């Protein structure tokens, strides 16, 4: 390096900057180990901005004839669990006055809503899908949520785990979908019950949902993919 | 100062203001980070071909895997946007005569004087680069927040009659900024050297 402070002139330091910049392409591998630290340093601010950007109101939807069934790819982290519809129960517990165990008939008895939205995967692909089922907000309201509840933990039959901020869970277009594109939800897409929402990335939208737990704070586990490095808020 | 040569020079090349040089250098750095991490994200689901598509060699990617690529891409996007926004803002307010205008197009059409034509091409090239960088930012923003910024995504619906969804068009457009800026970058370096030689490089870098 420079022998004297003056030797590291502006010219030289800028040269070094340019050289290091151009070697980024070749030396990217060396920077890869910093990825997580870089994400942890910047995600809190990004997530705050995301939460501010996210409105509570309805987002415009697509027309029913715009759905793209072939564009919806299937991702599964642990195979496809078998859930018998007759014995299926959705458990709602945590910070609620009336813990629930709802069967499919109870979910079908709630007001049904269809949302034709763009399902966006973290991988980059997207598909317009018509999801239908009860609103997640209506299901939570049945259980008498405590005002202290701020987060929702979602457990799936395949051990997939997710946590959401309550505002996103209560969004009027966040559904517990039981139908897709007008037909009963296929097993590969999460039958009998899955999350569907226009305001979150696909990995937030758990399939094969069996338990909702209202929590006052987040625990050690943020989610199956979040714990591996994905963003937690993942707002769209 | 550098002595002005006898040949008709397009104007004296003094050192550019510090802010120009700072924005210029920093832009190059963050652009490399954005492109490399963007290609990492591309590899998770290639825009062309989807899961069966051809991926970019790891040499040109940054992040190690999808989440790592997203870590870098979203960490740098704010710096990239702030740098570019302030730079373009200051250029428009203080040095808008340096940006290309209709006069440069007229020069390209009318003039047979090679140095004039080169200068006009140079001005057009770097002005296009700034526009393209701003476009990469807007198209990226549309992909980052497609639900809240649905109106931005809907601008990319122009290829729907041809059977391409606005999302696919958006992805192609955002990706296309990389080869486009790379080509303009080559032209920019060649033209800078031809227009101002090392004097211009020194004025811009030091």
Does residue B6 surpass a pLDDT of 90?
no
Cβ within 8 Å of B, A 63-82: 68, 71, 73
CA B19 to chain centre: 18
Q: What is the average per-residue pLDDT within B58-63?
A: 89
- Contact between chains at A236 and B64 (C-beta distance less than 8 A): no
Eight-class DSSP state of A92: E
Cβ within 8 Å of B, A 197-226: 198-199, 225
User: Which backbone phi and psi does B23 adopt, to 5 degrees?
Assistant: -65, -40
Is the ipTM here above 0.90? Answer: no
Which residues have a Cβ under 8 Å from the Cβ of A134 and sit 6 or more positions away? Answer: A107, A110, A111, A112, A113, A175, A176, A178
- Contact between chains at A71 and B165 (C-beta distance less than 8 A): yes
β-strands A90-94, A209-215 pairing: parallel
Length of chain A: 236
Other C-beta atoms closer than 10 Å to the C-beta of B90 total 15
Give the Cα separation of A207 and A193 in Å (integer).
7
Give the Cα separation of B47 and B172 in Å (integer).
7
Q: A93, A115, A117, A90: which is closest to A103 by C-alpha?
A: A90
At A94, is the secondary structure helix, strand, or coil? strand
| pLDDT per position as a tens digit, B147-197 | 999 999 999 999 989 989 999 999 999 999 999 999 999 999 999 888 888
| Domain-wise residue ranges, chain A | 36-228
Provide the pLDDT for residue A184.
96
Give the Cα separation of A213 and A217 in Å (integer).
11
At A227, is the secondary structure helix, strand, or coil? helix
Which residues have a Cβ under 8 Å from the Cβ of B109 and sit 6 or more positions away? Answer: none
Which residues have a Cβ under 8 Å from the Cβ of B147 and sit 6 or more positions away? Answer: A59, A117, A118, A198, A199, A235, A236
Q: Backbone dihedral region of A139: left (phi > 0), alpha (psi from -120 to 50 degrees) or beta? A: alpha
Percentage of the residues of chain B whose pLDDT score is greater than 70: 92
| pLDDT per position as a tens digit, B101-139 | 888 888 888 888 888 888 889 999 999 999 999 999 999
CA contacts within 13 A on the Cβ side of B61 = 22
- Contact between chains at A120 and B146 (C-beta distance less than 8 A): yes
Provide the pLDDT for residue A66.
92
Judging contacts by C-beta atoms under 8 Å, the chain B residues touching residue A59 are 147-148, 150
Provide the pLDDT for residue A24.
56
Strands (DSSP E) found in B91-177: none
- Contact between chains at A124 and B78 (C-beta distance less than 8 A): no
Q: Which fold has domain A36-228?
A: Sulfite Oxidase; Chain A, domain 2 (3.90.420)
| Domain-wise residue ranges, chain B | 15-98, 101-206
Would you give per-residue pLDDT tens digits along chain A (236 residues)? 344 444 456 555 555 555 555 555 555 568 888 898 999 999 999 999 999 988 888 999 999 999 999 998 988 888 899 899 999 999 999 999 999 999 999 999 999 999 999 999 999 999 999 999 999 999 999 999 999 999 999 999 999 999 999 999 999 999 999 999 999 999 999 989 999 999 999 999 999 999 999 999 999 999 999 999 999 999 99
């Amino acid at each position: 390096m420079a022998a004297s402070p003056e030797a590291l002139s502006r010219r030289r330091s800028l040269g070094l900057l340019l050289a290091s910049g151009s070697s980024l392409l070749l030396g990217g591998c060396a920077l890869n180990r910093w990825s997580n630290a870089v994400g942890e340093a910047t995600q809190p601010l990004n997530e705050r901005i995301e939460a501010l950007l996210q409105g509570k109101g309805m987002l415009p939807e697509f027309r029913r004839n715009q759905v793209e069934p072939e564009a919806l790819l299937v991702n599964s982290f642990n195979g496809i669990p078998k859930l018998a519809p007759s014995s299926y129960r959705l458990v709602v517990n945590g910070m609620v006055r009336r813990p629930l165990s709802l069967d499919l008939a109870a979910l079908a008895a709630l007001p049904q809503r269809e949302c034709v939205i763009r399902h966006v995967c973290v991988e980059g692909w997207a598909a317009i899908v018509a999801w239908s089922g009860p609103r997640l907000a209506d299901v939570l309201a049945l259980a008498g949520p405590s005002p202290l509840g701020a987060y929702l933990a979602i457990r799936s039959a395949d051990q997939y785990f997710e946590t959401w901020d309550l505002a996103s869970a209560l969004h009027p277009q966040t559904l517990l979908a039981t139908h897709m594109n007008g037909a009963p939800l296929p097993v590969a897409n999460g039958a009998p019950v899955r999350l569907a929402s226009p305001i979150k990335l696909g990995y937030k939208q758990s399939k094969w949902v069996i338990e909702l737990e209202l929590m006052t704070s987040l625990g050690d586990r943020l989610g199956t993919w979040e714990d591996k490095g994905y963003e937690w808020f993942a707002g769209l | 100062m550098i002595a002005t040569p006898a040949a008709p020079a397009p104007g004296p090349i003094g050192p550019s203001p510090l802010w120009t040089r700072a924005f210029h250098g920093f832009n190059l750095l963050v652009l490399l980070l954005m492109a490399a991490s963007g290609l990492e994200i591309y590899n998770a689901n290639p825009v062309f071909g989807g899961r069966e598509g051809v991926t970019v060699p790891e040499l040109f990617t940054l992040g190690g895997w999808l989440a790592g690529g997203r870590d870098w891409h979203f960490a740098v996007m704010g710096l990239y946007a702030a740098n570019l926004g302030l730079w373009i803002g200051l250029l428009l307010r203080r040095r808008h005569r340096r940006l290309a205008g209709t006069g440069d197009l007229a020069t390209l059409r009318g003039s047979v004087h090679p140095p004039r034509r080169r200068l006009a091409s140079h001005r057009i090239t770097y002005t296009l680069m700034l526009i393209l960088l701003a476009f990469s930012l807007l198209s990226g923003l549309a992909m980052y927040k497609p639900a809240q910024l649905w109106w931005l995504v809907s601008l990319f619906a122009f290829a729907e009659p041809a059977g391409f969804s606005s999302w696919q068009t958006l992805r192609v457009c955002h990706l296309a900024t990389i080869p486009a800026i790379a080509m303009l970058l080559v032209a920019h370096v060649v033209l800078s050297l031809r227009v101002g030689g090392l004097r211009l490089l020194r004025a811009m870098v030091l």
